Amino acid sequence: MSAPLHEAAPPTGTTTDGPVLAQLSRLDRFLPVWIIAAMAAGLLLGRAVPGVDDALDAVRVGDVSLPIAVGLLLMMYPVLAKVRYTELDRVTGDRRLLLASLALNWLVGPALMFALAWALLPDQPEYRTGLVIVGLARCIAMVLIWNDLSCGDREAAAVLVAINSVFQVVAFAALGWFYLQVLPGWLGLPTTSADVSVWTIVVSVLVFLGIPLVAGYLTRTVGERAKGRDWYEARFLPRIGPVALYGLLFTIVVLFALQGDAITSNPWDVARIALPLLAYFALMFGGSFLLGMRLRMGYAKTATLAFTAAGNNFELAIAVAIGTFGVTSGQALAGVVGPLIEVPVLVALVHVSLWAARRFFPGDPTAPAARTATTASTR
């Protein structure tokens, strides 16, 4: 179970009263403001400084800009350092959670994005293809931040992200072929050819999940052996906790600086691409949250299920779109608009999730308003 990002857990035996949002640190409480400011700063930087996009994109990790890669690693490392790896068997034994996550991520999510793209962009084949690629790229990075902010189950999120990573390597190319060629052909719709590099997917998984996962595991293992769990969670984790959000804000600035010109030069196209994305995030999150409630998973796992189902791996989607169709393609623009919409929407859904914890999970020991020092760790 999680506690707010930069605040210690309450004393043993006590509960936290009052609105959940009031218990968050100032950095967490005003996160939507910081994110909007970071997006605006990135767009202004991209428009005001000639050549900044080329400079930021000059050095790459695989098909992803090195500054973005650094930001994502900084963002993920503190979250993965907080995972209690000795408790992962508690999650892997929960077949309901694992099966629900697999079905939502690899059956419902891609099918829903396909349907929305064709329904709302029937005359825009490039944007439609870009959105289908976004729908196939299941989240393995930023979702850990949203899960932490919503006080979801941290160990469950780590397991589900790892499963998504394996399926991404195995299934991404096959699903791309199915949704871009096979299914449209069955329905009498135009088809699209896309050669997806398996190496691109492997590099994305190894860099954006493998590196911070190994670093987080080693940090906790060494820290607990040297100083004990109490010191590690009460003293060390609060020191590195803010790094996650600083990494998030840095990533947003760089991402929008890289793509600021494309976004601001095509405002109407951005608005059209945004519609299916808004519908997708709302339906995936809401449906997944209701499913978790129906299955009586408790608040923490329900929130984790919802966020891991709603989030997407925009780094991979952009890399595949650029590598296959080119940096100036409509497919690439659709990939770029993905985080433009996803980031503020999922921040808003964090607040929705915390509201739902109060409204629908009274007395639930995994809900943030009822957590204690024995069920929560400091961030």
| Structure tokens belonging to residue 352 | 């929705």
CATH class of the 21-26+51-243+268-370 domain in this structure? mainly alpha
Query: Rounded to whole angstroms, what are the CA distances from 324 to 113, 121, 129?
Result: 20, 20, 11
Residues in the chain: 379
Output the pLDDT for position 369. 62
Output the pLDDT for position 273. 94
DSSP, res 207? I
Output the pLDDT for position 171. 86
Query: Rounded to whole angstroms, what are the CA distances from 168 to 52, 116, 139, 197, 309?
Result: 32, 22, 9, 12, 14
What is the phi/psi pair of residue 120, to 5°?
-105, -15
Containing 60, the helix (H) or strand (E) segment is strand 60-61
Could you tell me if residue 312 is left (phi over 0), alpha (psi between -120 and 50 degrees) or otherwise beta?
A: beta
User: Tens-digit pLDDT profile for the chain (379 aa)?
Assistant: 344 444 433 333 333 334 445 555 566 667 778 888 988 898 888 878 888 877 777 777 666 678 877 888 888 888 889 888 888 887 878 899 999 999 999 999 999 999 999 999 999 999 999 999 999 988 877 788 899 889 999 999 999 988 888 888 888 888 988 999 999 999 999 988 766 667 777 777 777 778 888 999 999 999 999 999 999 999 999 899 888 888 888 888 887 887 777 777 778 898 999 999 999 999 999 999 999 999 999 999 999 999 999 998 877 787 788 777 876 688 888 988 888 888 889 989 999 999 999 999 988 988 886 554 333 333 4
Classify the C-alpha dihedral 333-315-248-371 as positive or negative.
positive
β-strands 60-61, 64-65: how paired? Answer: antiparallel
**How far is residue 63's CA from residue 178's CA, in Å, rounded to a whole number?**
24
Output the pLDDT for position 373. 33
Report CA dihedral (58, 62, 65, 69) to the nearest 10 degrees: -140
pTM of the model: 0.80
| Structure tokens belonging to residue 33 | 């403001």
